[in-house]
Structure 1
Amino acid sequence: MLRKVNSYIWTHRLISPGDAIVVAVSGGADSVALLDILAGLKSLRLRLVVAHLNHCLRGAESDADEAFVRDLADSYGIPFVAKAVDVGALSRQEKLSLEEAGRLARYSFFRELAADCKAGSVAVAHHADDQAETVLMRLIRGAGGSGLCAMSATTAGLIIRPLLSVTRNEIESYLEKKGLNYRTDSSNTDLEFLRNRIRNELIPFLKTYNPAITDRLAATASALAEDEKIVEAVTATAFTDHASMGTDEISVSVAGARLEARGIRIRMYRQALQLLKGDLSTVTAAHLNHVDSLLLSRKPNGRITLSRSIVVMRCYDRLIFTSRKEGRPDPFVLQVEGPGSYAIPGGVLSVAFTHSPSSWKDVPAHIVYVDMDAVPFPWRIRNFRAGDVFTPLGLGGTKKVKDLFIDRKVPVPSRHRIPLFFSGDTLFWVGGIMPSESGRITGATTSVLKVEIVASQA
């Protein structure tokens, strides 16, 4: 078994001399073997730290596990760090299963500890049987090729899995020959957990069809992983061509994405969600199908909310993935008494006396010139309300502001952030979009005002 593990480590370049590694140790057979193997690589001069998360689910048994791992780390002379997390409370708070909550807590702890210890990797004890179970679990829940690849030798440049090529039986034989003790988690036999049912019921049943089912499933995952590398390269190119990234959102060209095959589109959505969320633990095939339906819809606007407050919005020609809570902003009403500078939502308003511009063609959308006598002070500035109507400059007749927004393809979430300018009850400027006939400069105008919205740089 040692030869297999060492070969796997070198083939996948998991470890280099002098590496600092956090070793995740639960106290079970797999993690005890992992620690013993890594501690035995004396020639590599590894700097190891043993990490143990107490899930606080089994009372005294959980505490005994922690004490066992602490003593184990001491026996190797390796630093030990433990953390207790009430996984049951986390499960209820985040509306996750106990399995998902435990995984979230563990990997959050491992990442934090790796950063604190300046460790380049976190070694976990997943093995070939875990791989087979993961393939079946994802198949049952519904997964495509990327999901059925299951676990890889490395994840996100941090997690390494040195034992992925060996089986549970090989690990237990190794521990028996070396006389190493380990803890047995009583919850491993709890058939309320899907993984336990797969391990204790489904795989033994499948072995009646093929005694080597575990090896076959692991080999299938490996073959799919090789194919997935090709698809990932194509997806990366498509993502570069059609997506752009902001601080808390990712925008995808609707027209560009529609040119791609559906399989590539689905993987683009996965990549966008991975970048926003940091993982895909709660993203399902149904979520991705809903996103694709939004992109292909004939309706120019729409939105869906995915897990953990991730929102996907269709805004005309863009599909926007965002982790922001895109609620409607609070209504605002501001008073402008005369020329000067005023703070408005999203920027600053400047109002000053001036002359008519030499060319009306060169006036940008965020500036308007008005006849002060036609739109006397005080002005009111407020956001859009249903039923707002004005008389667009040069178009004749009245128009609903909502229809203007539709014509100009203003995204729905942005409409209530646009300031509307009123003199009395007369709407004379839909800020940054279109002026009204009401403030129009004529040959009889004696006082010209330049009104400018300067967007905030924050």
Structure 2
Amino acid sequence: MKDLVAIVRNQHLFAPGETVVVAVSGGADSVALLDILFRLEDERLNLVVAHLNHCLRGTESDDDEKFVSDLATRRHLPFVAIRVDVASFAAAEGFSLEDAGRQARYAFFHEVARRRGASSIAVAHHLDDQAETVLIRLLRGAGGTGLSAMTAAGDSLVKRPLLKVSRAELELYLNSRNLTWRTDSTNSDTTILRNSIRHELIPTLRKYNPKISERLAATAEILAADEELLEHLTSTAFDRLASLDGETVAFGVEALLKEHRGLRLRLYRHGLQELRGDLMRIALTHLEAIDRLASSDRPNARLKLPGSLRVERCYGRLSFTCAAPQTAQRWEQVVPGEGSYALENGMTLAVRRVERPQDLATGAKDVAYLSADTAPFPWIVRPFSLGDRFTPLGMTGSQKVKELFINEKLPLHERGRVPLVFSEGEIIWVAGVRVGEKGRVTSATGAVLRVEILDITP
């Protein structure tokens, strides 16, 4: 039997002493993941067990929640759970149950990570999940980016330590450890695409290649490596060819058309990602329409894309914007101490000294607790500027604020509204988004400041 603890350890996905939110549904995969991470004794990880009750299977869903709660209690680990009526959420937003559940889960996991100061979210996707994902995206018409599927170190905080481990190997591990798990009754429902692929398509493909899951996962890994290179080339070309002016991404048409068509399509994707924070509902047909606009003989024309996106050709300039953008204003304000401060962007920053709370989790993004010792006054508050960097709470290295906005899917036209709070030249709070490590409240902290930003809509 494979040493799954060694497989996870050798990927070096987690730093010693790191706080990790572990997504545990109660199924075999997530139970194995929690046990493996718990056994990483040298890493001394601070694990937080997170469970989202989808409210789709009545008492069965409630029993899953109780099972995971007991699992955490036996290991003396903190447990955080939330109940979401996924069916109502799906109906209201027009999502499938699978998509609605995924969105609800990841929003919850990121919120738990923010409140607990975690720098990683561990999820239990494994080799068979990877194979299924490749087939789903292939059937839906994905390109190289989509077919590269999932990576061990994913976007934002998400880590997938089990991508090289099969479902059968995980169950073998659980049996060897005498561990039990819950089985979701909906997993056998083949009207759900993923279940149909798992129970019908892959067994058929296995007749042609008994190791089809391994081959599909290997293909995804190869494509992921190619994507990493192509994204680096795209990013370099974007920095050379594109300009950011307020809430507009613009290209010079003459220079753009000298590039290979494949690179141009990637540049359009990159520009749209910069503006909106994601590429939902953007398909190849939209990218091709942009390319036809760029190469058209018409000097002036425009396109309307999903998500309030606009692309306009005006003579030699191709511009990408969001509808009704807000004009970014440059301003700077000094906060000398406690009090309420009206900011020039129409928001209000309220600062007051409080007793150190038992639980630093505020339950709201617009409230944070900061240390008056490590983040002394006066503070400087100003909008985001390109090049701003900070160290997020729970991390050691610095990160571009722009990357934080991208990870949080904050559109370009909204980024100028987010105030940055500085102490001694370092960012202590990206208001409403993330606390900086410099402002961390610890058991040794003396004075604690409760900081609130009012009327912020990131």
Q: TM-score band, normalised by the shorter chain?
A: 0.5 to 0.7
Cα distance change on mapping 1:210 and 1:257 into 2, 3 Å: same
Q: Distance in 2 between matches of 1:275 and 1:9?
A: 34
Matched, 1:242 2:241: yes
Q: Distance in 1 between matches of 2:16 and 2:109?
A: 21
Deviation of the 1:24 alpha carbon:
0.7
Which residue type is aligned with residue 73 of structure 1? Answer: A
Deviation of the 1:214 alpha carbon:
0.5
Question: Is residue 295–residue 314 contact of structure 1 (8 Å, CA) maintained in 2?
Answer: yes
Deviates more, 1:244-253 or 1:142-151: 244-253
Matched residues, percent identical?
53
Deviation of the 1:246 alpha carbon:
5.0
**TM-score scaled by length of structure 1:** 0.66
Q: How does 1:117-132 map to 2 (within 5 A)?
A: 117-132=116-131
Which residue of the partner structure matches residue 376 of structure 1? Answer: none
Matched, 1:3 2:7: no
Matched, 1:304 2:324: no
Cα root mean square deviation, aligned: 2.2
Q: Distance in 1 between matches of 2:100 and 2:62?
A: 19
Cα distance change on mapping 1:144 and 1:34 into 2, 3 Å: same
Q: Distance in 1 between matches of 2:224 and 2:207?
A: 27
Deviation of the 1:152 alpha carbon:
0.7
Larger Rg: 1
CA offsets 1:203-248 (integer angstroms, 9 cap, x no match) = 0000000000001111111111222222122111111112233564
Q: Distance in 2 between matches of 1:45 and 1:326?
A: 46
**5+ unaligned residues in a row in structure 2: which ranges?**
327-458
Question: Is residue 127–residue 165 contact of structure 1 (8 Å, CA) maintained in 2?
Answer: yes
Aligned length in residues: 325
Which residue of the partner structure matches residue 64 of structure 2? Answer: 65
Say which SS state the counterpart of residue 10 (structure 2) adopts.
Answer: helix
Deviates more, 1:266-275 or 1:245-254: 245-254
Which residue of the partner structure matches residue 41 of structure 1? Answer: 40
Q: Distance in 1 between matches of 2:286 and 2:88?
A: 26
Which residue of the partner structure matches residue 152 of structure 1? Answer: 151
Which residue of the partner structure matches residue 292 of structure 1? Answer: 291
Cα distance change on mapping 1:282 and 1:90 into 2, 3 Å: farther
Say which SS state the counterpart of residue 82 (structure 2) adopts.
Answer: strand
Which residue type is aligned with residue 235 of structure 1? Answer: T
Say which SS state the counterpart of residue 96 (structure 1) adopts.
Answer: coil
Deviation of the 1:86 alpha carbon:
2.1
Question: Is residue 301–residue 316 contact of structure 1 (8 Å, CA) maintained in 2?
Answer: no
Deviation of the 1:6 alpha carbon:
2.8
Which residue of the partner structure matches residue 337 of structure 1? Answer: none
Deviation of the 1:292 alpha carbon:
2.8
Which residue of the partner structure matches residue 55 of structure 1? Answer: 54
Q: Distance in 2 between matches of 1:5 and 1:268?
A: 40
CA offsets 1:244-300 (integer angstroms, 9 cap, x no match) = 335644333333332221221222222233334434454333333333333333332
Q: How does 1:241-260 map to 2 (within 5 A)?
A: 241-245=240-244, 248-260=247-259
Say which SS state the counterpart of residue 304 (structure 1) adopts.
Answer: strand
Matched, 1:142 2:141: yes
Q: How does 1:69-148 map to 2 (within 5 A)?
A: 69-148=68-147
Say which SS state the counterpart of residue 319 (structure 2) adopts.
Answer: strand
Deviation of the 1:20 alpha carbon:
0.6
Say which SS state the counterpart of residue 151 (structure 2) adopts.
Answer: coil
CA offsets 1:411-447 (integer angstroms, 9 cap, x no match) = xxxxxxxxxxxxxxxxxxxxxxxxxxxxxxxxxxxxx
**TM-score scaled by length of structure 2:** 0.66
Which residue type is aligned with residue 97 of structure 1? Answer: S
Say which SS state the counterpart of residue 225 (structure 1) adopts.
Answer: helix
Q: Distance in 2 between matches of 1:214 and 1:119?
A: 32
Q: How does 1:431-450 map to 2 (within 5 A)?
A: none
Cα distance change on mapping 1:280 and 1:198 into 2, 3 Å: farther
Q: Distance in 2 between matches of 1:280 and 1:9?
A: 33
Cα distance change on mapping 1:322 and 1:58 into 2, 3 Å: farther
Question: Is residue 21–residue 48 contact of structure 2 (8 Å, CA) maintained in 1?
Answer: yes
